[in-house]
Amino acid sequence: MKYRALAIDGPAGAGKSSVAKMLAKQLNYTYVDTGAMYRAATLKALALKVDLDNPESFSFLDNTKMEFMHEVLYLDGKDVTIAIRSNSVSNNVSVVASHIPVRNRLVALQQKIADKNHVVMDGRDIGTVVLPNADLKIFLTASVEERAKRRHAENVSLGIDSDLERLKKEIERRDQIDSSRSYNPLRVAKDAIFVDTSAMDLGEVTAMIYDLYKKKIDEKEEQPEWKTTNNPIKN
Ligand code: DC
């Protein structure tokens, strides 16, 4: 069976996770928040007190379990939804995500999930590295100002301490690290559709992507190869 995949990439706070969650619900697909996986790796590294700057500190990931169930990420069996949003994780995750062994391990895990499930997957390198054959690739972005406001509102709703000006600076810093790292940086896939969400609400963005995706899938299903392999009458 061919599993379907919708890839959504973009910088922090562009609205990827809210949009991806809504799309996964509408399509009845598994939502895979790859940023949460890098955060979980950071959380565990902080708990183990390993040297975060050393790529070789992360061999513990070989014995680490990460599973998504109903939008919740379980790290070694424990729900870490709130813990991975703490300031200490947010401030260290870019460095952790820049290490080659960390990326290789998490990309392999992400590909394994997509091998067995229809997925909406969001991150920075989904269309370029993790799922280069995704059925549709979207690159979502928005101004730094707008992205900081959205992250602030999300933090407040989760009961996390939040300061708008500081968030702006952190977002700029993380953009810088995420797009300038040498291994799998944040970049737009050649065949991705670029969407600036600064002046759109998340409902509008979701509806737009849903329509684009359905159209793409309908086109694929109309292709002759698809019909000959799946429709017994035509075989
Ligand atoms: O989307 P987020 O803010 O939760 O992502 C956390 C960090 O992980 C961010 O610094 C970028 C990094 N990341 C990455 O390098 N590759 C991904 N596929 C997803 C996130």
The minimum-distance atom of ligand 1 relative to the CA of 84 is: 4
Q: Which amino acid appears at position 110 of this protein?
A: Q
The minimum-distance atom of ligand 1 relative to the CA of 39 is: 6
Q: How far, in Å, are 11, 33, 43 from residue 122 at the CA level?
A: 10, 5, 20
Cα(10) to ligand 1 centroid in Å equals 9
Q: How far apart are CA 235 and CA 227, in angstroms?
A: 8
Residues with CB under 6 A from ligand 1: 12, 34-35, 38-39, 93-94, 97, 123-125, 174, 178
**Structure tokens that stand for 228 in this block:** 């000959």
> What is the set of domains in the chain, with CATH numbers?
5-211 (3.40.50.300)
Q: How far apart are CA 101 and CA 103, in angstroms?
A: 6
Contact between residue 187 and residue 10 where contact means Cβ atoms under 8 Å apart: no
The minimum-distance atom of ligand 1 relative to the CA of 130 is: 18
**Structure tokens that stand for 77 in this block:** 């069996």
Q: How far apart are CA 235 and CA 33, in angstroms?
A: 39
Other CB atoms within 10 A of residue 17 CB: 18
- Written as tens digits, the pLDDT of the chain (235 aa) is 689 999 999 998 788 999 999 999 999 999 999 999 999 999 999 999 999 999 999 999 999 999 998 889 999 999 999 999 998 998 899 899 999 999 999 999 999 999 999 999 999 999 999 999 999 999 999 999 999 998 899 889 988 889 999 999 988 988 888 888 888 888 899 999 999 999 998 899 999 999 999 999 999 888 755 544 444 443 3
Cα(20) to ligand 1 centroid in Å equals 14
